[in-house]
Structure 1
Amino acid sequence: MRILVVEDDEDLAEVLVESLEEARYAVDLARHGGAAEELMTANRYDLVILDWKIPAPDGLELLRQWRAAGRDEPVLMLTGRREVSDRVDGLDTGADDYLTKPFSMMELMARVRSLLRRRSRTLRPLRAGEIVLEPASRRVTFAGEPLKLTPKEFGVLEYLLSRAGEIVSRTELTEHVWDDSFDAMSNVVDVIMYRLRKKIDGGRSAKLLHTIKGVGYVLRTERGES
């Protein structure tokens, strides 16, 4: 899952990013409102952690713009404002949760997990052939049997299933599953695809996962020759 952190305090931003990455989330960081606008325009996120007091536009104005534009990503707002009226303003503007500073990272991570679970419950299971992926429980079955996947394998499979039958470019895949620090020259995508093929297609001549040379990858809804 991919999370956008919008925080101008360097020390806090560093702790947030490190904690989220340790929990195996892909994380993008914006240090001011303008950078956050650019990232939100270019990407879809599973969650946004948004500080109210950032260089213009501030967090509340950003949130107002996103909701007006129909963006429905869950937003956890961070702020030093402790007045009930401020909390009401944040929630009424569209924040899904609100955390006042100072806070413990344990509490923040618990709220992140809660928001992501809540969002996942609204997502339907993804299916293709004998594969069923349930976003809410992060469970994958193949021919009725549980399939053990690493977080990155899960992320890649989830995105390919969401675009089943369509060719997904390598760039699009890495932008969705990895963060902005991903090394484009790395062969990690090839490694993940190799592992997924081994787990899903095995020694079968008819495949679900295909590489379109020079273009990207596609997950067929029915098995076809590779």
Structure 2
Amino acid sequence: MNLLLAEDDAILSDALSSQLREAGFDVEHAPNGAVAEYLLLKQPFDLAILDLGLPLVDGLTVLKRVRAAKPALPVLVLTALDSLDDRVAGLNAGADDYLTKPFDFPELEARLRALLRRTRPIGSSAELGHLSFDRDTRRAAVRGEPLDLSPREWMLLDLLLSQRDKVVTKDQIQQAWALDRTEAASGTNSIEVYIHRLRRKLEQSGLAIRTVRGLGYLLEAEAETSA
């Protein structure tokens, strides 16, 4: 399990790196936000621990940029910032979990392993419910019938599948769309339009897109959808 530890406190990072290696993780350390961003974007990691108070580039900025490129990467934010606003900002930026300092290592390890258990990255092709999906050919079908998807609908479906059973925020959707140069940017109000269109196209798939009020959208099996 390859893990990036982004922490600028040398004493803490040395101690954590040693404990994580003893727990079975392969650890690479980033002492600042610029190095963390570079490594996370250029190298494959199974998991990341990210301090928000990093020098050069702050942790929230790193998190937002990495989320746009790697929406499925599990990220645990580790920080001394423990106010409600700080926690909400971290989670809205794309953190999967949030642990404040000081902490006990057994809790950190347990949270990391819980993140790994919940992470089920989708490959280049997959079948979920009655939906078949092939990223390489950019094709999707429901019960064998091809789906006619616009570029933005495709990117939205790809993002929801990559983050399935986790909330995808509007910011994440906009960041993913910003990488697509085939369509002009069009503001968050259009997201609801694309969500509505995609819901209609997935009606027979056994999957549903649930709105999580104030947070974003969640792709889940229909049987698990709340009434």
TM-score, normalised to structure 1's length? 0.52
Distance between the aligned counterparts of 1:71 and 1:91, measured in 2? 13
Pairing 1:105-184 to 2, within 5 Å after superposition: 105-119=105-119, 121-122=120-121
Distance between the aligned counterparts of 1:46 and 1:29, measured in 2? 14
CA change 1:34–1:122 in 2 (3 A) is closer
For the pair 1:78 / 2:111, whether they are aligned, the reply is no
Per the alignment, residue 34 of structure 1 pairs with: 34
Distance between the aligned counterparts of 1:82 and 1:41, measured in 2? 27
Identity across matched positions, percent: 48
For the pair 1:9 / 2:9, whether they are aligned, the reply is yes
> Which residue identity does 1:53 align to in structure 2?
G
> Which residue identity does 2:44 align to in structure 1?
R
Size of the aligned set, in residue pairs, is: 123
SS at match of 2:76: strand
> Which residue identity does 2:10 align to in structure 1?
E
> Which residue identity does 1:3 align to in structure 2?
L
Task: Note the residue ranges of structure 1 that are not aligned, 5 or more in a row.
Answer: 125-226
TM-score, normalised to structure 2's length? 0.52
Task: Note the residue ranges of structure 2 that are not aligned, 5 or more in a row.
Answer: 124-227
Per the alignment, residue 92 of structure 1 pairs with: 92
How far did residue 122 of structure 1 move?
Answer: 4.7
> Which residue identity does 1:82 align to in structure 2?
D
Per the alignment, residue 69 of structure 2 pairs with: 69
> Which residue identity does 1:24 align to in structure 2?
G
> Which residue identity does 2:41 align to in structure 1?
T
SS at match of 1:3: strand
RMSD: 1.4
Deviations 1:167-226 (A, max 9, x none): xxxxxxxxxxxxxxxxxxxxxxxxxxxxxxxxxxxxxxxxxxxxxxxxxxxxxxxxxxxx
